[in-house]
């Protein structure tokens, strides 16, 4: 086998920059988020509440990722889009990934429910304002469309065909969000839906590349460090077939720089292995938690007088 491997060129050593998030970067993104939002919403009090709610949501994801030893953790706030926590592992787990996803919206819904009930006697209280925004933003995140938490949860638990699920979820999400935006005449939601639509092309290309890899008996659930020289060469060939511009790039770049470009492309089509360790019972529990969060949110809004909510935001 070793002699056979020698027939293939040595794969490049992938130069990865470790980007463990720094709190200053998170704070800077929050400031940019607030400034950008203030251009369309002249209400700094509401912007501050929104930032607090988003931070509470993302801290749920962040703490779970810390607990499960994710690396390269970053928390960023993205203007008009929300916030996100990113991280990676050499091997994922259905159980860990599911708990990490649900840890974002569920605590926010529970806290929002408590705050709403605590603030019913005071229509202008901060507890009602926080409760409403906590529940609203977090229950929206439970909608089962990508890239929302609900969509990620469904993919993690029920879709083994990762790349096809991503493609379908992206297409459905784009149409759904743009359609909701049209219905409510919300240009922000329409733009968000269209931005998601731009991802479809990249997802489709990734789907085709991984399909070719499967046809060639190449397992894409692997880490770059673990693939052989032969596997690297075969993946490189498939990628170049789907990305002809790489041939042009080769002509205008030094060999080492070009090799790094291709190596990053190869790394990008790989996905760290995922342990299918979620039992039917665990999946049932997660679905009950997901449905419970939605039911609790609906119950909270149906149980409180709508005028109470209006007064809470007007009289502050």
What's the CA gap between 135 and 106, in Å, rounded? 9
Confidence of residue 120 (pLDDT cuts 50, 70, 90): low
Q: Residue 269 corresponds to which tokens in the numbers above?
A: 């089509």
> Could you tell me the residue ranges of all domains in the chain?
161-275
Contact 123, 315 (CB under 8 A): yes
18-32, 140-154, 267-281, 282-296: the lowest-pLDDT one: 18-32
pLDDT tens-digit readout, 218-252: 888 888 888 989 999 999 999 999 888 887 777 66
> What pLDDT band is residue 166 in, cutting at 50, 70 and 90?
low
Average pLDDT of the chain, as a whole number: 83
Distance (Å, whole) CA 117 – CA 136: 15
- Angle (CA) 239 165 75, round 5°: 85
Task: Count the residues in the chain.
Answer: 316
Q: Taking residues 24-30, what's their average pLDDT?
A: 88
Contact 237, 262 (CB under 8 A): no
Identify the band that residue 309 occupies on the pLDDT scale cut at 50, 70 and 90. Answer: confident
Residue with tokens 């880490």: 223
Lowest mean pLDDT among 63-72, 96-105, 184-193: 184-193
Closest by CA position to 149, among listed 193, 99, 111: 99
| Residue whose C-alpha is closest to residue 88's, from 277, 283, 282, 268 | 268
With 70 as the cut, is the pLDDT of residue 179 above it?
A: yes
Residue 188's pLDDT band (cuts 50, 70, 90): low
Q: What pTM was estimated for this model as a whole?
A: 0.79
Give pLDDT, residue 251.
Answer: 67
Q: Which residues pair with 274 in a beta bridge?
A: 92
Q: How many Cα atoms occupy the beta-carbon half-sphere of 8 within 13 Å?
A: 18
Radius of gyration (Cα) for the chain, nearest Å? 23
Q: Does the CA dihedral 179-185-186-190 come out positive or negative?
A: positive
């Amino acid at each position: 086998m070793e002699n056979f491997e020698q027939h293939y060129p040595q794969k490049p050593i992938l130069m990865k920059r470790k980007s463990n998030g720094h709190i200053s970067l998170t704070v800077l993104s929050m400031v940019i988020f607030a400034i950008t939002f203030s251009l369309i919403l002249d209400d700094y009090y509401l912007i501050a509440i929104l930032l607090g709610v988003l931070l509470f949501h993302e801290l749920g994801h962040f703490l779970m990722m810390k607990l499960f030893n994710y690396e390269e953790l970053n928390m960023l706030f993205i203007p008009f889009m929300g916030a996100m926590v990113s991280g990676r592992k050499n091997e994922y787990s259905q159980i860990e990934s599911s708990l990490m996803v649900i840890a974002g919206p569920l605590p926010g819904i529970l806290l929002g429910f408590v705050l709403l009930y605590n603030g019913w006697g005071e229509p202008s209280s901060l507890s009602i304002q926080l409760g409403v925004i906590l529940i609203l933003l977090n229950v929206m995140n439970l909608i089962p469309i990508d890239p929302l938490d609900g969509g990620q949860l469904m993919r993690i638990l029920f879709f083994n065909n990762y790349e096809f699920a991503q493609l379908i979820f992206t297409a459905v999400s784009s149409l759904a969000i743009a359609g909701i935006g049209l219905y409510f005449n919300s240009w922000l939601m329409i733009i968000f839906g269209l931005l998601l639509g731009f991802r479809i092309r990249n997802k489709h290309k990734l789907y085709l590349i991984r399909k070719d890899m499967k046809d060639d008996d190449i397992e894409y659930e692997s880490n770059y460090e673990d693939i052989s020289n032969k596997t690297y060469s075969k993946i490189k060939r498939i990628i170049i077939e789907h990305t002809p511009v790489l041939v042009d790039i080769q002509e205008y770049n030094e060999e080492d720089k070009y090799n790094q470009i291709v190596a990053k492309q190869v790394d990008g089509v790989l996905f760290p292995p995922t342990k299918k360790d979620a039992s039917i019972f665990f999946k049932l529990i997660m679905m009950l938690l997901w449905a419970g969060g939605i039911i609790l949110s609906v119950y909270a809004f149906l149980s409180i007088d709508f005028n109470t909510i209006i007064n809470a935001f007007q009289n502050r």
